[in-house]
Chains A and B, each alone.
Chain A
């Protein structure tokens, strides 16, 4: 689609948001412990809202993102350590809804992963998802503070500022220091 022209999927999503028609009636349905809970963009927002107040780490990934997969063990380690300090770790999978083999692989991968995560899969075309979430590539780690504000967006979008797990840890320690201060 040429830039500047209306995007049908986006318009459909927009109408859904305006009418509330795509939202679940019960937020508790978003917290079920299966491997990946399928969510729309609007439902993902509700997932984040439901975790407040509290710090949230959201790891955005896909089965085609080799570097995402390779770094997952380090995220498991971080989740194990920081979940004891009331930090919620979530994963948001961006496999294409029509990519059955990718989704199957991702479910199997997560099932054997361990860690204290809530796993979600975005039910959205990747081009639309990247534009709506303003992503350039994966992996991306989003860190929200206790008020729900996105305080850190860790990406590999700048060759000179690519993130590591040490950046995640530093960001969490800084947020926790603020949250834990008297």
Chain B
């Protein structure tokens, strides 16, 4: 009986309490500075540093080719980039895992196949991923002009995954809240994103 009451109490809390900043990441919190990086190889053959990106809004997103959640949300990510074309927004993907199907050659193939329209970096040292506390793919990190973290978490309120049949399944039906898109728009408008943090849902990142 007591266990049931405790569970009811816990559920009451999760129904009623808004999500707060710093809740879903052990390393980085809202307002923290973006970790710098340098010389990371990209799928376009180039090499990039954090200083190469000077847009008003910079979005970093952790990716992994093998991950069904990444594959399920690739279309949404590409659409996000397209939706801000011509505006002062840059989106940069980065991969951390060392498994062969997530490394640079596979990243190049995957990016070409699905039509990635953004810079896609390989963080082989895993230093960027560690500094961001990036433990899931995909996981979004939206930084403002001062490169302070303004939003982190989900793309939308209905994460999508590629099933074993090759279909795309949305966890909660058609998305009705577009957290990352709205966070970017808020920053461009001079406002702070609300919510600032959501519980990312995806594959776990393996640190060596």
Instruction: Report the interface size for chain B: residues with CB under 8 A from the other chain.
Output: 49
A56-85 with Cβ < 8 A to chain B? 63-67
Centre residue among A10, A64, A148 by max chain B CB count within 10 A: A64
The answer on a CB contact under 8 Å between B18 and A4 is yes
Q: Which residue on chain B has the smallest CB distance to residue A48? A: B3
- Bound-state CA distance A67–B137 (Å) is 13
- Which residues of B lie under 8 Å from residue A157 when comparing CB positions? 26, 135
Select which of B10, B157, B201 is within 8 A of A130 by beta carbon: B201
Contact pick for B7, options A1, A45, A158, CB 8 Å: A45
Cβ A66 vs Cβ B203 within 8 A: yes
Which chain A residues border B113 with CB–CB below 8 Å? none
A99-B169, A156-B204 in contact; A3/B19 too (CB < 8 A)?
Answer: yes
User: Is the beta-carbon distance between B204 and A138 smaller than 8 angstroms?
Assistant: yes
B207 interface hit (Cβ, 8 Å)? yes
Whether the pair B169, A96 counts as a contact (CB closer than 8 A) is yes
* Cβ contact of B205, chosen from A3, A63, A101, A159, cutoff 8 A: A159
List of A residues within 8 angstroms of B203 by Cβ: 64-67, 137
Kindly list chain B residues whose C-beta atoms are within 8 Å of the C-beta of A2.
157, 177, 195
Cβ–Cβ contact A3 & B26, under 8 A: no
Residues in A whose Cβ lies below 8 Å from that of B7: 17, 41-42, 45
Residue contact A162 to B163, C-beta cutoff 8 Å:
no
Q: How far in angstroms is the closest Cβ of chain A from B13?
A: 10
B-side interface mostly: loop
Whether, in the assembled complex, A139 has its beta carbon less than 8 Å from a beta carbon of chain B, the answer is yes
> A26 at the A/B interface (Cβ < 8 Å)?
no
At the interface, yes or no: A28 with Cβ under 8 Å from chain B?
no
Q: Are A127 and B18 within 8 A (Cβ)?
A: no
Is B147 part of the binding interface, using a Cβ–Cβ cutoff of 8 Å? no
From known contacts A4-B17, A17-B4, A156-B204, infer whether A98 and B169 are also in contact, taking CB-CB under 8 Å: yes
Contact with B along A7-43 (1 / 0, CB 8 A): 1001101100110100000000000000000000110
Say which size band chain A's interface belongs to.
35 or more
B15 A11 Cβ-Cβ under 8 A: yes
Contact with A137, one of B136, B172, B195 (Cβ below 8 angstroms): B136
B11 at the interface (CB under 8 A from A): yes
**A181 within 8 A of partner (CB):** no
A152 to B165, CA, bound (A): 35
Identify the stretch in B43-51, B80-88, B126-134 within 8 Å (CB) of chain A at 4 or more residues.
B126-134
How many whole Å from B24's CB to the nearest CB in chain A?
Answer: 6
Most buried by B among A42, A137, A148: A137
B4–A101 CB distance below 8 A:
no
Measured between alpha carbons, how far is A48 from B198 in the docked complex, in Å?
29
Instruction: Give per-residue flags for B123-155: 1 if the beta carbon is below 8 A from chain A beta carbons, else 0.
Output: 000100110011110000000000000000000
Query: 6 new A-B pairs (CB below 8 Å) besides A158-B135, A159-B207?
Result: A14-B15, A63-B164, A125-B172, A131-B199, A162-B206, A162-B207
Give the 3 A-B CB pairs with smallest separation, nearest first: A4-B18, A3-B19, A137-B204
